């Protein structure tokens, strides 16, 4: 089985981003990472994203707020950041504490600064097939991994196991745009194993560790694992029982080293695109 590693795809995106940066005027684009509290997962992702984007030549600044911040105070601070002309893009680390009204944040975020596709405007564009919409980075990373590895999507039967607005649903729309034939499944799908075995490409984003084993995978299918978990022994794993599918699948993404490493590269790509759009608007004034 061939591994679909993210490092090679990330390197290609890095080249594209750096070529685009060379054509921009002024300071490099700036990403604002917004975090509430100090959850270990958030801190780890923040450090990784900052390191990677800075290696691309981009600027990153963290905006951390206390875990107990109130809804009104956070909304006020977020609106100020949203309006800051020095900020090119915003990445909001989710989920936020339940006391904060996420619906107001989604509606207020500037679609042109919304790097991870949480704005209703961007999601509507993704569902409409409009290339101007920023898709959630993880969903776009899946498509980039497949395309950069020369995997033709047109006409392929792709099954997506997961229906979240972060990955499953927007990913399905991106795949449809590539002319794939898409089936969306979830943990309550009847005869899930049988449905999955009909797929040429199987994408696991259900959020259940090692849920997908060889009984879900058609012979020589391509498997993309979006999940990220820590098992009982402290080892990182995905939604796919990787060792179990090795003799069945023709290609598969590992965890770690697969989709996650491309997700931050897509974030960098979005930040460049936001800066390019801002520069074009400025030139037209």
How do residues 127-169 score in pLDDT, each as one tens digit? 999 999 999 999 999 999 999 999 999 999 999 999 999 999 9
Q: How far apart are CA 223 and CA 201, in angstroms?
A: 6
Residue range of the domain that includes 152: 137-260
pLDDT digit string (tens) for 184-205?
Answer: 999 899 999 999 999 999 999 9
Residue 64 counted as domain residue = yes
Angle between helix axes 168-177 and 137-148 (nearest 10 degrees) is: 40
Q: Are residues 152 and 250 in the same domain?
A: yes
Residue 282: per-residue pLDDT: 83
Q: Above 80 in pLDDT, residue 285? A: no
User: What pLDDT score was predicted for residue 5?
Assistant: 97
Residues 77, 171 within the same domain: no
Tally of domains in the chain: 2
Domain shared by 148 and 252, yes or no: yes
Residue 214 lies in a domain: yes
Q: Does 232 share its domain with 185? A: yes
> For the domain that residue 230 is a member of, what is the CATH number?
3.40.50.720
Dmax (CA) of the chain: 59
Tens-place pLDDT, residues 219-265: 999 999 999 998 888 899 999 999 999 999 999 999 999 999 999 99
94 and 160 within one domain? no
Exposure of 57 by Cβ count < 10 A (0-12 exposed, 13-18 middle, 19+ buried)? middle
Return the pLDDT at 63.
98
């Amino acid at each position: 089985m061939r591994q679909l590693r993210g490092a090679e795809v990330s390197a290609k995106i890095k080249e594209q981003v750096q070529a685009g940066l060379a054509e921009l005027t002024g300071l490099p684009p700036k990403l604002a990472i917004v975090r509430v509290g100090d959850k270990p997962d958030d801190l780890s992702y923040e450090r990784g994203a900052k390191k990677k984007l800075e290696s691309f030549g981009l600027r990153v600044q963290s905006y951390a707020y206390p875990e107990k911040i109130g809804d009104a105070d956070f909304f006020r601070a977020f609106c100020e950041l949203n309006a800051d002309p020095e900020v090119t893009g915003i990445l909001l680390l989710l989920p936020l504490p339940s006391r904060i009204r996420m619906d107001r944040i989604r509606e207020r975020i500037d679609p042109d600064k919304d790097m991870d596709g949480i704005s209703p405007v961007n999601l509507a564009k993704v569902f409409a097939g409009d290339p101007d919409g920023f898709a959630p980075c993880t969903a776009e990373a899946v498509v980039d991994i497949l395309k950069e590895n020369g995997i033709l999507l047109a006409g392929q039967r792709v099954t997506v196991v997961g229906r979240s607005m972060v990955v499953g649903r927007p990913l399905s729309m991106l795949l449809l745009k590539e002319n794939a034939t898409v089936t969306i499944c979830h943990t309550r799908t009847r005869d899930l194993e049988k449905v999955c075995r009909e797929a040429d490409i199987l994408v696991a984003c259900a959020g259940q560790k090692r849920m997908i084993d060889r009984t879900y995978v058609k012979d020589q299918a391509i498997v993309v694992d979006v999940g990220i978990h820590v098992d009982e022994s402290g080892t990182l794993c995905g939604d796919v029982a990787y060792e179990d599918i090795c003799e069945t699948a023709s290609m598969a993404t590992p965890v770690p080293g697969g989709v996650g490493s491309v997700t931050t590269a897509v974030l960098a790509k979005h930040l460049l695109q936001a800066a390019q759009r801002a520069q074009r608007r400025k030139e037209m004034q």
